[in-house]
Amino acid sequence: MRPFHRKQRPELAISEGEMARMTEELDQLHHEVGKPAMEAQVAAWADELRSGVRQSLSRRHFLVGTGGVLAGGAVLATLATHPTLAAAAASGSSSSSSNPPNSQGGISGLSGDLAVVALAASLENLAVSAYSQGISAAQAGKLGTVPPAVVTFATTAKSQHMDHAAAWNAILRAAGKDPVTITTPSLTPTVTADLAKVANVTDLANLALTLENAAAQTYQVQAAKLKSTKGIATASTIQPVEMQHAAVLYYALGEYPGVQTSSGSPLAFNPTTEAVS
Amino acid sequence: MTGHPRDLTELLEESQDLQSDALATTRTSLDDLVEASLDGPSTYDQADALENRRFADAHRRSLQRSIGTTTLLGAAGGGLLVALLASPALASSSPDIQMMQTAASIENLAVSTYKTALTLPYIGGSSANPVVKKFCQVTESQHDQHNDAFNAAAKRLGGKAQTKEDPTYVPVVKKAVAGLAGASPTAGSMGVVNLALELENVAAETYVNDMSHLKDTRAKELTASIMGVEAQHAAVLLSVRALLEANAPQDIALSPTVVAMLPAAAGSVGFPNSFYPTTLAAPADQGAVK
């Protein structure tokens, strides 16, 4: 990775090493608590979906299907190679689902909970794509000075969205469907147009904020509609993470770090006006 | 670093009105919740009771493991918390009502904790960091609104409002607050942030967990609209804690200029999990009206 442009900055009381150690401690906690719990949850849901899948899925098929959605790197590989998840998907040998296959990685042709799963996967793909393009633009020097903390935010948020996409696609695979490889059709044209206009970090942060809020609000709506308790649990463990991304983006923009109105007044309840359906 | 006190003060004032508007929206959901309950409040059947018991047992085992492997509860009396979890009380209303009441009990505790914190000179006084002070003020107000909403839901489902604080965590908070007496502003601020962080995670994780147990759609919608807000509080507190631990309180500010000076690792310290955990989630009946 090419180094980002960094401006000279005054000496800070905090060192990179000190902050890195704190991050490592939290990251360790994440791997010990958050992801294993989610993996077990997704595996259990996949297990529920086994009953009707006709196509036998090999472990390799699962890995390729999940990891092939977007250039995933280590995060997707780690998730996809988790034995519990892989075994759950590989054993999904029969499905009584009335849904026809979703063709070519799309989100159409599905109904019920699986339609929600596909929508969620497409939203995560869109977030990954937007962050990837933003990071590429920064690396190419197209955004001017990019603060190092913003770079870390973008790469970490992208990684977490890839985790989310992998989880949703693991469910689709377990149900005998194709993993979703597209980005959300209703949002993609707008995001593509906005990305083309991004000229600096503020523009990029505002665009990312729009995506994070849309994702969080979509999960919020769908979590109350999903039938499967495993599906509800999965959406519910992701929604707060998207909102945390949003909080950090507000902070990076110098605004109050929490859900707020368009004029910047904090709100106690997250709205759903930006939810995607 | 002073942040934007003008902006924050105005935001706080404006938010009181706008949060009332938002609450009005929530009340629409609550009205629907009432209608649903009038069709037939769910009964506390044997299966629900067994499920609650299983979850409570699993919760205690999980929390004991969690506390044994992390230092996060250190400042908030983690050992005491383990002991307190040994004998939960039983409640008799439906699981949905219990979850709303338990949520209200957590919100009650959060309100009183922030209120107490704001009496400390280095949190709510003239020497306080203005961003931290306003965050505590806004967050206290938000928890108060959450409390009102959860209690309204409990009552309209046929239960009672929970006006007490979560009994499990009250001794923990009292011990932590007592530990702040005589503390230096630096140590005291760290103690407050650790305690608040723990409460925010308890709240967020409880609501995340409740989502897959609640039966009523409107109760789910209310809970879903709040869980992410608590997670945002936690993200802010994680970031503040990191800067305090690094002896850089001057960098706690709402300013892109300051953000530009932060080290790279600061960009991710506020959101350590891809998937929000539930190991600290309170069982449905923990704060229910007995």
pLDDT, tens digit, for every residue of A79-93? 333 334 334 333 332
Average pLDDT over residues B217-221: 95
Please list the helix, strand and coil fractions of chain A in percent, rounded to the nearest 5, in that order: 65, 0, 35
A12 occurs within a structural domain: no
| Chain B neighbors of A261, CB-CB under 8 A | 18
Confidence of residue A48 (pLDDT cuts 50, 70, 90): confident
Q: What is the ipTM of this complex?
A: 0.76
**Looking at the domain B5-35+62-267, which fold is it?**
Ferritin (1.20.1260)
pLDDT (tens digit, 9 = 90+) per residue, B114-148? Answer: 999 999 999 999 999 999 999 999 999 999 999 99
Q: Determine which of B114, B273, B279, B280 to mutate to test the interface with A (most A C-beta atoms within 10 Å).
A: B273
The reply to whether A132 falls in a domain is: yes
3-state helix, strand, coil in chain B (%, to 5): 70, 0, 30
Minimum CA–CA partner of B280 in chain A:
A33
The chain B residue lying nearest A28, using CA atoms, is B272
Per-residue pLDDT at B114: 98
Q: At what angle do helices A201-223 and A112-139 cross, to 10 degrees?
A: 170
The partner residue sitting opposite B265, judged by closest CB among A23, A159, A260, is: A23
Domain that holds residue A60: 19-96+106-252
Q: Which residues on chain B are in Cβ contact (under 8 Å) with A11?
A: none
Mutate to test the interface with A, among B15, B275, B280 (most CBs of A within 10 A): B275
Contact criterion met (CB < 8 Å) for B14 and A236? no
- Put simply, the answer to whether A272 touches B225 (Cβ < 8 Å) is yes
- pLDDT tens by residue, B88-111: 444 568 999 999 999 999 999 999
Between these two residues, A209 and B86, which has the higher pLDDT value?
A209
CATH number of the domain bearing residue A115: 1.20.1260.10
The tokens describing B272, both together, are 């350590």
- Rounded Cα distance between B255 and A252, Å, is 7
What is the average pLDDT value for chain B, to the nearest integer?
80
Residue A117 domain-assigned? yes
In a domain, A37, yes or no: yes
A241/B276 CB distance under 8 A: yes
Indicate the number of domains in chain A.
1
Mean pLDDT of A47-53: 63
- pLDDT of the residue at A125: 97
In a domain, A266, yes or no: no
How confident is residue B15, by pLDDT bands cut at 50, 70 and 90? very low
What's the pLDDT at B59?
54
Contact (Cβ atoms closer than 8 angstroms) between residue B206 and residue B282: yes
Among the partner residues B212, B265, B279, nearest to A20 by beta-carbon distance? B265
Which residue is listed with tokens 């998207």?
A: A242
If we measure between CA atoms, which residue out of B224, B147, B153 comes closest to residue A270?
B224
Residue A264 has pLDDT above 90, yes or no: yes
Quick one: pLDDT at residue B66?
Answer: 45
| A145 within some domain | yes
Does some domain include residue A243? Answer: yes
Q: Quick one: closest CA in B to A272, which residue? A: B225
Out of B19, B259, B263, whose CB is closest to A267? B19
What's the pLDDT at B197?
Answer: 98
pLDDT at A17: 63
Q: Cβ contacts (< 8 Å) between A238 and chain B: which residues?
A: 275-276
Taking the C-alpha atoms of residue A146 and residue A95, their distance in angstroms, rounded to an integer, is 48
Q: Does residue A267 sit within a domain? A: no
Measured between beta carbons, the chain B residues lying within 8 angstroms of A148 are 262-264, 267
If one counts every other C-beta atom within 10 angstroms of the C-beta of residue B256, the result is 18
Query: Of B225, B271, B275, which has the smallest distance from its Cβ to A37's Cβ?
Result: B275
Q: Check CB contact under 8 Å for A267 and B211.
A: no
